[in-house]
Amino acid sequence: MKMISAAICVAMLSVPAIALAADPIGCDNVNIGADVMAKFPNVRSTCQEVKEKDGGTYIRFVGEVVAASNDKATVHVKDRNGKDVSEFELGWAAGQKIKVGGKEMNFSDLRKGDKLDFWIEHNKWGLFSKPGSSSLKILSRKDL
């Protein structure tokens, strides 16, 4: 009976290790291109998730809108601890959408305080409202 219990314990403890081995791409393991690192040095600390889509590898970020108008928004990008570390001023094409609170909405409807997700392809500079979508206009970026 003790041997069965020991075997069950070993099996249960190995499950997380197997799960980690099955998903080797994550924020700490993704290969970030030199262009992205040069233009967004906080990329690794602000990474929330890595996702593969249509042959591309995308890094997800979380931001909070601090100012918005019909044609641009200023967004503070948060690190994994929720601290503001970078600021982007973004523009967009007419009708372009972004996820806010899990719901898709028009950029022109953004308001101060909205929390949004956006993406960067791991090896090519540019911001996307979702992997595989058209890129956003980056009007400016600075570290906070």
Q: Are 62 and 47 in contact (CB under 8 A)?
A: no
Q: Which of 89, 86, 80 is nearest to 60 (CA)?
A: 80
Is 54 domain-assigned?
yes
pLDDT value of residue 22: 40
pLDDT value of residue 4: 54
Ranges of the chain with pLDDT below 70:
1-25
Is 8 domain-assigned?
no
Is 3 domain-assigned?
no
Is 105 domain-assigned?
yes
pLDDT value of residue 7: 47
Is 63 domain-assigned?
yes
Number of domains the chain is built from: 1
Is 129 domain-assigned?
yes
pLDDT value of residue 134: 85
Q: Which of 68, 78, 63, 137 is nearest to 108 (CA)?
A: 68
Q: 123 Cβ partners below 8 Å, 6+ apart?
A: 31, 32, 33, 35, 36, 57
pTM given for the model: 0.78
Is 12 domain-assigned?
no
Supply the range of the domain harboring residue 99: 26-143
Is 112 domain-assigned?
yes
